[in-house]
Each structure stands twice: as C-alpha cells, then as structure tokens.
Amino acid sequence: MSQTQNKLVIFAVVLALLALVLSLYSVITLQSLASRITDLSNSVAGLKSDIQALSQQIGKAVPTQPAPQQKVKLVVIGPWSGDEAKYFQAVIEAYQRTHPNVEIEYRTMRAEDVAATMPIQFAAGVAPGDVIFGWGWFIAKMGKEGHLVDLTSIIKQDEYVSGILDAVKADGKVWGAPFTMWLKPGFWYRKSFFQKYGLSEPKSYDEFVQLLEKIKSIQGVKNPIASGDGMGWPLSDIVEHFIIAYGGPQMQLNLISGKTRFTDPSVRRVFENYLVPLLQKKYFSEPIEWTTVIPKWWAGEYGLYFMGTWITGMVEDPNDLDFFPLPESKGVVGGADYAFVPKYSKNVDAAVDFLKFLATEGQGVHASVPSGKIPTWTKVPVSQLWKPMQSVYTKITQRGMAILPDLDDSIGGDWQKLFWDQLKLLWVNPGALDSVLKTLESAQPKP
C-alpha cells in the first residue's frame, strides 16, 4: 500500500469515527429534547389545572354579571303613569345600579292602545320599544304570528305562581314574561269611616244589603258604592266579583272558555237576584272616571269602592284602608302584568336581559314599594312585600280564596270592548238586562 493510500484509509477511518460521534450526539440530544417536551407538557397541564381551580374559586366568590358590555339604550313601554310610574321607576333604577351601561327610557301606553296600534307596526317590521307590556292574550297572539322573541329558555316555569304563564303561551312556547300580580279582592273602605259610623264587614249577602242601606242614610254620602269608569274595566271587575260569589269560580272559568253562555239561566240569576237589585236601588253611583273618584270616596262622599290592590298605593294613608269580599265568594280575580320583546328590537340581547330582571329580582323591588302588587316569582319572600300588602295577602290566604283569571282580559279582542259598553248600559238602565245578556252571548267566543 502506497503512502497516499495509507493517508486515504486513515482519513476514511477518521470520518467514520466523526460520523459515529455525531450520530450518538444526535440520539442523546433528541432524547433530551423529548424529555424536555414531556416536562413542558406536564407543566402546561398543571398550569391549566391551577387556572381552572382558581376560576372556580373566583366564580363562587363573585356572582357573574350578564350585563351587556357596550352602551345601549332601551325604550320600555308600560301602562303606568303618575305614582304607578314612580314605583316602576324604582325597578328601573335598581337594574341600572348593576348595569350602568344601559340607559332606559320609559314611555306610558295603556294595554288597549298597545293592542290597537302595534300589530300594524309589527307587520311593517318595526317596533316602538324594546321591552313592552301588554295583555296576555295579545302577547300570545303576536308570538304565534312570529313577531316576538321566544322566551321559553329564559323563563323557568316552575319558579312562578301556578297557571300564571298560561296566558302568554302559544304553540308550546312562552312569549311573555310575568311581572308582579294584582288582585281584585273586593270592596275597599276607610277604617276610620266604619269606626265613626259603627259599621262592620258583612257576613252574608243580606248583611251586605243592610250595610249599604246604613251607608246610604249617612249625611253627605251620595251613594254607598262609588262606580269607577274609564275604558270600562272597573265595572267589569265588579260584575266578575258577583259572578264568582254567586255563580261560583267554575262559572267564571266556563264563561271564559265559552262552555257557559251569558244567556244561560244560571248566569241570568246572578244578575237578576244580586246585582240588578242593587243598581235599581241606586246603591252604586253612576260611572265616574276611576282616579278622579278616589279623593271623593276618601272624603266620605261614598262609603265603598271596588278596586284592585293597586289602590293601596293611591290613597293618603294606606294604614286606614281595609277591604272585604262579598261574603259568599270563594275566589278573587288576579292577574299579572306581562312584558315581551319584539323581534324587531335593535337591542334584543340587552332587552332580554332587562326582561329577565323584571321577571325575577325586579318583582321583589316592585312589591317592596307602594305599588299594591305581589310577586308572581315565588323566590321573593313575603317579608319583602310592602307592609300594607302583607296584610292583604294574609287576609286572602286565610280565607282560602282561589285566584282566578280576569274574564274580559282573558277573552280580549272586540268582545272585551263590547262587554264594557254593555255594562255601562246596564249601570244606567238595569231594565235592559235581557238585551245586555243576549248581546254579550251573540259575540261570546265558543269553545
């Protein structure tokens, strides 16, 4: 082997040794890198676990706030004005304390105006408000026609007074959120008036008539009972109370469903034997706008006034106020105010969030002020109610009276206006009873 060949052999051996060393180094390096990757993965997993545990601790300590993050303005339309609007404003302010980014403008519109005007606007794809209060039957109808946001997943039905959501359901979905509930429990009077003239609550219909006769004889009294008026609903409230007392709660339900007709002899007997004689003897005043008659009744021009529980927030001294139902009555009309979100709202998410508050914690706020309402959300404790309403609630529950749906609100539509107009006729002309009942029956919905 030549010297040159020897050098080449040596060079080749050296190269082979270098390649072997490099291969070993690569293997060692890759093993080390794999080990580091494994360690790093374990560290990341541990860090994730720590973050999850920390998040759970934070979640328990601080309630989540579903408030929209951006500045938004909501227009809320409801039926309240005057003092009633002031009590609703307390609910708005309570919401804004935890949702300062939400501006709320409140506008007043009666339910009858909502039902008359908004179908046209909805048909055009526009809505005058983001959260709107209306009658239950109207909300169910608009939901069924596709104009409202579906609230089925928002409202937990088992947390509300039984049956209160029935009015706003259609096609198996919930289209409206219940707010606080009113009751129409009977005839209100001033305790001081009864004490001054030695009067007491009646225990039978005969005693009721005797009480009216005593009040009628008091100097300065124009009529024993003030008759409220407006769109007509104060008179229908009185009539429904007589139907429940002397026809029974089931007659009220059957008249709503149409199973019992207004010309049925059993219905006529309620009018003929109990209500009409009182109208003929002028125990009831002629219909007077329901808010303007309040100070006159309070001043003693009338002894009794049939009205809903909201009257407690509209008198000078609610502690001087008490009521009694017709003695034979086994039920009272009660119902909730309902709100909905039109799908044409420009702020649907924020509107639904406010609506959810109205249906839950907001009810506690509304019932704690002199609104004359009680919550439909069963999570509100009775102790949170405004004190005069606690005694009203106790009196009704002690008598075991059933809470029944409002007749004309449940039927709604054109029949409701017809009912009001026919009762105004009956009030001034009791002799028109048969004509009134026949007219009501002819337009009464059938089952």
Nearest to 201 by CA among 327, 47, 349: 327
Are the CB atoms for 214 and 220 separated by under 8 Å?
no
List the chain residues with pLDDT less than 50: 27, 30, 33, 37, 40, 44, 47, 51, 53-65
**Do residue 116 and residue 92 come from a single domain?**
yes
Residue 42: inside a domain, yes or no?
A: no
Direct distance between the N- and C-terminal alpha carbons of the chain, in angstroms, rounded to an integer: 120
Handedness of CA 423, 427, 428, 432 (dihedral sign): positive
Partner residues linked to 226 by β-bridges: 305
Q: Which two tokens stand for residue 179?
A: 């707010």
pLDDT recorded at residue 57: 45
**CB contact burial 222-245 (16+ within 10 A = b; e otherwise):** bbbbbbbbbbbbbbbbbbbbbbbb
- The predicted pLDDT at position 26 comes to 54
Same domain, 179 and 102: yes
Say yes or no: 133 and 251 in one domain. Answer: no
Residue 18: per-residue pLDDT:
61
Residues 316 and 439 in one domain: yes
Q: Of 80, 407, 403, 439, which is closest to residue 236 (Cα–Cα)?
A: 407
Helix 136-144 and helix 111-123, axial crossing angle in degrees, nearest 10:
10
CB 390 within 8 A of CB 375: no
Q: Is 82 a member of any domain?
A: yes
Q: Is residue 28 part of a domain?
A: no
Residues 234 and 320 grouped into a single domain: yes
pLDDT of residue 51: 46
pLDDT value of residue 139: 96
Q: How far apart are CA 154 and CA 14, in angstroms?
A: 80
The total domain count for the chain is 2
Give the pLDDT confidence of 403-435 residue by residue, as tens digits: 888 999 888 889 999 999 999 999 999 999 999
- Give per-residue pLDDT as tens, 207-262: 999 999 999 999 999 999 999 987 778 999 999 999 999 999 999 999 999 999 99
3-state class percentages of the chain: helix first, strand second, coil last, to nearest 5:
55, 15, 30
pLDDT confidence of residue 397: 78
130 with 240, same domain: the answer is no
Residue 64: per-residue pLDDT: 47
- pLDDT at position 230: 76
Q: 323 is in which domain, residue-wise?
A: 184-333+404-443
Residue 64 belongs to a domain? no
188 with 304, same domain: the answer is: yes
pTM of the model: 0.69
What confidence score (pLDDT) does residue 66 get?
A: 53
